[in-house]
Amino acid sequence: MCGGSGSRLWPRSRSKHPKHLLELNGGVTLVQQTVKRLRLPAERVYCVTEASHDALLRKQLPDVPKENIVVEPDRKGTAGAIALGLSRLSGSLADDDVVLSLHSDHLIQNEAEFRRTVKAWTKAAETHPRIVALGIKPTYPSTGFGYIESGKKLGSAEGFPVSEIAQFVEKPNEATAQRYLDSGKYVWNAGMFAARFGVFREEYERYLPEHASFVERAGGQSAKKRNASYMALQDETIDYGILEKSERLAVVPASFDWADVGSWADLHDVLEHDANDNVFEGEYVDIDTKNCFVYSPDQLVATIGLQDLVIINTKDAVLICPKDRAQDVKKVVEKLKQSGRKKFI
Given pLDDT bands bounded at 50, 70 and 90, which one contains residue 316? very high
State the chain's mean pLDDT as an integer: 94
Residues 6+ apart with CB under 8 A from 225: none
Task: Indicate if 197 and 323 belong to the same structural domain.
Answer: no
Q: Are 198 and 95 in contact (CB under 8 A)?
A: yes
pLDDT grade for 221, boundaries at 50, 70 and 90: confident
Q: What is the pLDDT of residue 260?
A: 87
- Indicate whether 299 and 227 sit together in one domain: no
Give the per-residue pLDDT at 317: 96
Residues 6 or more apart whose CB falls under 8 angstroms from that of 82 comprise: 1, 48, 101, 193, 200, 238
Strand ranges for 170-306 from DSSP E: 186-196, 249-253, 258-259, 279-287, 293-304
List, for residues 64-108, the tens digit of each pLDDT value.
Answer: 999 999 999 999 999 999 999 999 999 899 999 999 999 999 999
Same domain, 86 and 183: yes
Based on the fold, state whether residues 339 and 306 are members of the same structural domain. yes
State whether 152 and 278 are in the same domain: no
Query: Does 336 lie in the same domain as 235?
Result: no
Radius of gyration of the chain (CA): 21
Query: Average pLDDT in the 317-344 region?
Result: 95
Q: Identify whether 1 is part of a domain.
A: no
Residue 148 inside a domain? The answer is yes
b or e along 99-126 (b: 16 or more beta carbons within 10 Å of the residue's beta carbon)? bbbbbbbbbbeeeeebebbbebbbbbbb
Same domain for 177 and 200? yes
Within-domain flag for 188: yes
Show the domain range for 150: 7-259
CATH number of the structural domain spanning residue 121: 3.90.550.10
Q: What is the DSSP string of 135-198?
A: EEPPSS--SSS-EEEEEEEEEEETTEEEEEEEEEE-S--HHHHHHHHHHS-EEEEEEEEEEEHH
Query: CB-based contacts of 263: which residues, under 8 Å, 6+ apart?
Result: 8, 9, 144, 326, 327, 329
Given 259, 278, 297, the domain boundary residue is 259
How are the residues of the chain apportioned to helix, strand and coil, as percentages rounded to the nearest 5?
A: 40, 25, 35
- Asked if 27 and 57 sit in the same domain, the reply is yes
Comparing CA positions, the residue from 164, 152, 53, 158 lying closest to residue 105 is 53
Query: How much is the pLDDT for 142?
Result: 87
Same domain for 195 and 58, yes or no, is: yes
Model confidence at 197, pLDDT cuts 50, 70, 90, reads very high
H or E stretch covering 291: none
Predicted confidence band at 311 (pLDDT cuts at 50, 70, 90)? Answer: very high
- Looking at residue 37, what is its pLDDT? 93
pLDDT of residue 170: 84
Work out the average pLDDT over 14-28: 90
324 assigned to some structural domain: yes
131-136 and 258-259 beta bridge pairing: unpaired
The pLDDT of residue 156: 97
Of the pLDDT bands very low, low, confident and very high (cuts 50, 70, 90), residue 296 is: very high
Assessment of whether the complete model's pTM goes beyond 0.85: yes
Distance CA(244)–CA(165), nearest Å, equals: 10
149 and 28 in one domain?
A: yes
